[in-house]
Homo-oligomer: A and B are copies of this chain.
Amino acid sequence: MLHTSEIKAFLDAKDKKGLKDFLSDYGAEEIADLLNHLEEENLLLVFKAIDRDLAFTAYELLDINFQIALLDLLPNKLVTLIINDMSPDKRTALFQELDNEMLNKHLKLLTLSERSVALHLLGYPENSIGRLMTPDYIAVQANWTISDVLSYIRKYGENSETLNVIYIIDDKGILVDDIKVREILIADPHTRLEEIIDGRYTALSVLDDEELAINVFSKNNRVALPVIDKNGLLLGIVTMDDVLRLSKQEDTEDIQKLGGVEALEEPYMDVPIPLMIRKRAVWLIVLFFGELLTASAMAYFEDEIAKAVVLALFVPLIVSSGGNSGSQAATLIIRAMALGEITINDWWRVLKREIVSGFALGLILAIIGFIRIGMWNYFTNVYGIHWFGIAATVSFSLLGIVMWGTLMGSMLPIALKKLGADPATSSAPFVATLVDVTGLVIYFTFALLFLKGTLL
């Protein structure tokens, strides 16, 4: 573990040579970690003191926001070297976060060939697998021998993103098979590739959504997958480490949206407080306007409440029960959709399951509610002679509202997906708010039904 205090000592002593020697003992991950923790004014000095190759590798490991900050901080000459050296997939991830002006400036710093690679990758739609891929891989032909392949790798393998899988293409560049490097390593050097390949491979399609890559990787035991166009032409590869990072990031976004927060783009502690407040305020205000409707709904039933104040007592219980059951259903369905377990075409099967679940859950709460009111009244007589009507109102409302919450919670994410929106937008708080207003209407309707002529 590298500490900023040790670095500080070198900087204070202006001992550039000592700093350089000291830093040369560490690996790229430790260097990246160190850069993350340095004060801004020391960044440039330290970065320049790191061995160039190591510095470049460490740069690729930094958060994208930090990478952008460094682009501004470092001299143009160094930036040119860095971005020309970056692996194309990491560079695409960085470039797509730049604004137009920054992007143009940095594209100009690339060599002609790197620029063409970068523009090509940026040409694929955002969130498509094309943006995630790298063109650095090894492709060979089926009639080569193992020893041909090995010497080819020795010559050209340096720049390949992964050497764990070798791709076999025909003379038109169409993907024929992939083969794990282990198969090559354990095979006899005189064997021809065509004798050991089986023509079975899993490939990603360049225009498919990034999320699909996550699903394919978690089902297949691969460290890299080839990316092809609709004609089967091999365009690049996607590696597992990028997918793991993407997967964590997508899960984080989903979780934050489910909690009713706009997705944060940086770690919690790094988000400036004003931005944090804005990200949270947006939804909180939207939900608040939704909740203001409850005040209107309540006002509509003000006469009933004035006649039977006892009705007001159960309002928080009723609305939260609807909200909680809605949160549960929404969470389950959103996650199942994200994992590809269910699609919008399954809506009818989901609906049937949720009707059964919602009814059962509602019934359970209705029974508990009934017993609670009955027992309370037995011991304290707090609800008087009308306890049965009150208990019936609360119980039937609970049954209705839990079913309603469950159905809204499960169908809303599917409907959003169908409309092309992100299902996670129908966060737990969002569903709860929607259910609250209707919940009040259900509650007071049952009250009128059971208590008309007695309390009301």
Interface residues of A in 287-316 (CB under 8 A from B): 287-289, 291-292, 294-295, 298-299, 302, 305-306, 309-310, 312-316
Given A244-B244, A267-B336, A281-B364, decide whether A181 and B164 contact each other with a Cβ distance below 8 A: yes
Say which residue of B158, B245, B259, B317 sits within 8 Å of A428 (CB atoms).
B259
Asked if A258 and B319 make an inter-chain contact with CB atoms under 8 angstroms apart, the answer reads no
Q: Is the CB of B346 within 8 A of A273?
A: no
Specify which chain B residues have a CB less than 8 angstroms from the CB of A382 in the assembled complex: 299
State which of B243, B285, B295, B313 has its C-beta within 8 Å of the C-beta of A295: B313
Q: Does A400 contact B (CB under 8 A)?
A: no
- Shortest CB distance A293–B (Å): 9
Give a binary string over A241-253; 1 marks a CB under 8 Å from any B CB, 0 the rest. 1011101100110
Is A436 a contact of B327 with CB atoms below 8 Å? no
Interface residues of A in 75-99 (CB under 8 A from B): none
Q: Closest CB of chain B to A150's CB: distance in Å? A: 7
Contacts of A442 in B (CB 8 A): none
Q: Does A221 touch B at the CB level, under 8 Å?
A: yes
Cβ-defined contact, A298 with B313, below 8 A: yes
B269 touches A361 (CB 8 A): no
A330 contacts B by Cβ under 8 Å? yes
Distance in angstroms between the alpha carbons of A200 and B247 in the assembled complex:
27
In-complex Cβ contact of A323 among B160, B334, B432 (8 A) = B432
Bound CA span A139–B383, Å: 77
Residue A186 interfacial (CB < 8 Å): yes
Q: Is the Cβ of A280 less than 8 Å from the Cβ of B317?
A: no
For A295, list chain B residues within 8 Å (CB).
Answer: 313-314, 316-317
Select A27's contact among B61, B202, B259, beta carbons within 8 Å.
Answer: B202
A176 within 8 A of B: no
Residue interface bits A201-230, CB-to-B below 8 A is 1, else 0: 110000000000010011111110000000
Cβ of A44 within 8 Å of any chain B Cβ, yes or no, is no
Q: In the complex, A29→B281 CA distance in Å?
A: 45
> Within the assembled complex, what's the spacing in Å between the Cα atoms of A264 and B277?
33
Docked CA distance A305–B314 (Å): 13
* Interface assignment of A331: CB less than 8 Å from any CB of chain B: yes
Within 8 Å of chain B (Cβ to Cβ): is A417?
no
Which residues of chain B have C-beta atoms less than 8 A from A150's C-beta?
Answer: 185
Interface status of A237 (Cβ within 8 A of chain B): no
CB proximity of A437 to chain B, nearest CB, Å: 8
Distance to closest chain B CB from A374 (angstroms) = 13
User: Given B158, B180, B325, B433, which contacts A320 in the complex, CB threshold below 8 Å?
Assistant: B433
**A218 and B244 contacting across the interface, CB-CB below 8 Å:** yes
Could you tell me the distance in whole angstroms from the C-beta of A326 to the nearest C-beta in chain B?
10
Q: CB within 8 A of A285: which of B260, B364, B429?
A: B364
Apart from A153-B186, A162-B164, A287-B324, what 19 extra A-B contacts exist at CB < 8 Å?
Answer: A26-B200, A60-B221, A247-B248, A252-B335, A252-B339, A260-B328, A260-B331, A260-B428, A261-B332, A269-B336, A280-B325, A284-B325, A284-B328, A288-B317, A294-B317, A316-B316, A320-B323, A324-B432, A428-B428
The 10 A-B pairs at the shortest CB distance, nearest first, are namely A259-B331, A268-B336, A163-B182, A294-B316, A27-B200, A312-B312, A298-B313, A251-B251, A267-B341, A164-B164
Listed by A's residue number, 21 A-B pairs whose Cβ atoms lie within 8 Å are A61-B219, A154-B185, A163-B185, A164-B223, A218-B248, A240-B241, A244-B244, A261-B328, A267-B339, A268-B332, A268-B341, A269-B341, A281-B360, A284-B325, A291-B316, A292-B372, A309-B309, A315-B315, A316-B319, A323-B429, A432-B432
